[in-house]
Structure 1
Amino acid sequence: MTADGGGLVLVVEHEAAVAELQRRYLARAGYDVRIEADPARAPAETGRLRPDVVVLDLSDAARPADLYRRVAEAAGAAPVVAVTAGPGEPDATGAAAACGLGEHRVARPFSPRVLVATVAEALRRGAPGTPPGELRAGPVVLDPRARSVLVGERGVALTVTEFDLLEFLMGNAGRVFTREQLLDAAWGPGAGAGSRTVDVHIAQLRAKLGEGSPIRTVRGVGYVLDA
């Protein structure tokens, strides 16, 4: 793990623009990111870097099951997040699932925020019996795929931005973020919204989550979600 606790992420991605987008969002979440553009070099680079997690693009691989197996072997105990093609396209979803660590995966095209949350979940490995990709913080359970939130047995209706903000915080539980960082994460880089917008949405989130809200204000800095 890095000094700030984010961890080293090896991103194996053949498209430069996609790799740069992943790098930016993962780095913003506190991870140390290395990029490998050639899938054929992925097993060797995994063995050399010994990352905490590998994000492995399988969507364009000629032999995805073999590539996944070799990278997973080189990664050792580190989890591998498989990136597969979208629904209805020839992809490696089944191959990844058959290789042992395939519960951690996203399908193209994916939201960078979903990728960050999946990486965080892969690093935590999740509690036994927790569905893949599901995020938990106390009584709050967030399902990124269904875009649903429960507090105990109570369903919570969130706006798109509220959900994205909560998903980012839950995917990075324990990390303190400034208002500017949260603006970039939930609204996107260069968004016209001001920092006051973050305060308003955090207040709305807390009200909707009720007493189960795990979001805490760090005076003079920003906000953190306590796991």
Structure 2
Amino acid sequence: MKIMVVEDEPAMVELLQYNLESEGFDVVSATDGEEALLVLEEEKPEMLLLDWMIPKISGIEICRRLRRDPVHRNLPVIIITARGEETDRIRGLDVGADDYVSKPFSPAELMARVRAVLRRNNPNAESDTLTIADIILDLVAYKVSRAGRELHLGPTEFKLLRFFMERPGRVLSREQLLDGVWGQNVYVEDRTVDVHIRRLRKALNGAGEVDLIRTVRAVGYCLERS
């Protein structure tokens, strides 16, 4: 899992990177708000550790923009800042941050908060099965069922469904799906995603069943939670 650190103090970036990588996370970083928005689109992290007082565009403004963006509105964000007043914490949470950590902080506590936010956003993260609505995906046996009936998916459809189920409720662009399912170093056309989405929908949806994969025009797709 990739986490992005947005922080302008090199020593703090080094501290966060060391602790995150020790927990098994991949880490990318940015030192100001404008760079953060560019790196966000290029690297597609699955969580942001976001300093409030960064140059060019503040962390608060970045968080506000993410919550208005259909692609990133569900991206987990923890704001890290030296501003520890209650009014500041309330403001940070009001713009959509999932958690708020004041400097100085214990690295162990921050890592615990990171894990807690990830669990809240993806309760299936540490399980051998993923469950969304009436769909169950068994990561060990490589089986999928819906409402008790076994589904027969090809390898790509299985990986595609797993990618969706690990990010329920998030709108995923075709580029994110291509990178996550096919890999960043593999050339595959965008329309290939649409072909496999159609196959996945056909396998998932029996007579009278709700289609849980929502198409977001000009953006991508989202697996609804129910």
Q: Contact conserved, 2:170 with 2:222, CA < 8 A, in 1?
A: yes
After superposition, residues 43-58 of structure 1 pair within 5 angstroms as none
Unaligned runs of 5+ in 1: 1-5, 35-47, 54-69, 81-100, 102-118
TM-score, L = length of structure 1: 0.51
SS at match of 1:161: helix
Partner of 1:19: 26
Larger Rg: 2
1:184 maps to 2:182: no
What is the root-mean-square deviation in Å for CA atoms of aligned residues?
4.4
1:166 maps to 2:125: no
- CA gap 1:147/1:213 in 2 versus in 1, 3 angstroms: farther
Aligned counterpart in structure 1 of residue 201 of structure 2, from 197, 206, 220? 206
After superposition, residues 77-96 of structure 1 pair within 5 angstroms as 78=113, 80=115
Deviations, residues 154-202 of structure 1 (Å, cap 9, x unaligned): 1112222111111111111111111111111100003211011000000
Q: Contact conserved, 2:171 with 2:222, CA < 8 A, in 1?
A: yes
SS at match of 1:12: helix
1:144 maps to 2:142: no
Q: Distance in 2 between matches of 1:15 and 1:135?
A: 22
Q: Contact conserved, 2:20 with 2:27, CA < 8 A, in 1?
A: no
Unaligned runs of 5+ in 2: 7-15, 29-39, 51-78, 82-96, 100-105
SS at match of 2:180: helix
After superposition, residues 3-14 of structure 1 pair within 5 angstroms as 12-14=20-22
Aligned counterpart in structure 2 of residue 31 of structure 1, from 43, 47, 50? 47
Q: Distance in 2 between matches of 1:207 and 1:12?
A: 40
Number of equivalenced pairs: 150
Partner of 1:153: 148
Identity value in percent: 35
Q: Distance in 2 between matches of 1:7 and 1:161?
A: 31
Residue identity matched to 2:155: V
Q: Distance in 2 between matches of 1:76 and 1:194?
A: 38
Q: Distance in 2 between matches of 1:178 and 1:131?
A: 25
